[in-house]
A = this chain, B = another copy of it.
Amino acid sequence: MKVTLGISNRHVHLTEEIYKNLFGDAPLEVVKYLGQPGQFASNRFVTIKNGDRKIEKVRIVGPFRNYNQVEISRTDSYNLKLNPPVRSSGDIEGSSPITLMGELNEISLDKGCIIANRHIHITKEEVIERNLAGIEKVQIKIDGEKAGIIDNVYLKIADNSKYELHLDTDDANAFNLKTGDELEIIAKK
């Protein structure tokens, strides 16, 4: 069983309220639609900061959400001197505080920075079609010189999903993977 890879670079999701605080009335516009329906790379970037450490040009992914979340890699976390937990998107209780700089303001969030877990977007119909019912997570088998197995890949079941594997840049670069690669799923009941 195969799945297509989409590599997630560091990015942020914002509420409309926080966005307006950072950018005022400047519109959040679509630059490019992403794999998951309705999600888009926007025309706006923030700088993310922790003390004197910062990473510039971190893209806002739209549309607005009802929470603020900064998704970075472990490599980024060392550069920022943060130690965020590995989490599912939206599961931000107790995650790392981080500061956002927009064009107008700087806002310190008391939580919201995570390392996204490895996951596959899938509908409940596809779960049944692919004989994955009752399985919480799978493995991905990688071939080539940088071969191996990526474990703890969660099935993220939702209506209106596009079937797609999401890995961060650390996972992708360790295994020399590119967006669009077709990878093998190992599912153990």
Contact = CB atoms under 8 A, between A and B. Distances in A.
Given A74-B176, A86-B145, A139-B148, 16 more contacts: A73-B173, A74-B173, A74-B174, A75-B173, A78-B173, A86-B146, A117-B145, A118-B146, A146-B171, A148-B151, A148-B152, A170-B170, A170-B173, A170-B174, A174-B174, A174-B175
Contacts of A169: 75
This chain: copies in complex? 2
Interface of A: 73-75, 78, 86, 117-118, 139, 142, 145-152, 169-171, 173-176
A146 B86 CA distance: 8
A166 to B, nearest CB: 14
A139 B74 CA distance: 22
A146 B73 CA distance: 12
Q: Give the 7 A-B CB pairs with smallest separation, nearest first.
A: A174-B174, A147-B151, A74-B173, A149-B149, A148-B151, A170-B173, A170-B174
A16 to B, nearest CB: 32
A148 B148 contact: yes
24 contacts: A73-B173, A74-B174, A75-B75, A75-B170, A75-B173, A86-B176, A118-B146, A139-B148, A142-B151, A145-B152, A146-B152, A146-B171, A147-B151, A147-B152, A148-B148, A148-B149, A148-B150, A148-B151, A149-B149, A170-B170, A170-B173, A170-B174, A171-B174, A173-B174
Taking each of A74, A147, A174, which has the highest tally of chain B beta carbons within 10 Å of its own beta carbon?
Answer: A174
Nearest to A153: B148
Contacts of A173: 73-75, 78, 170, 174
Contacts of A145: 86, 117, 152
A20 to B, nearest CB: 33
A146 B147 CA distance: 16
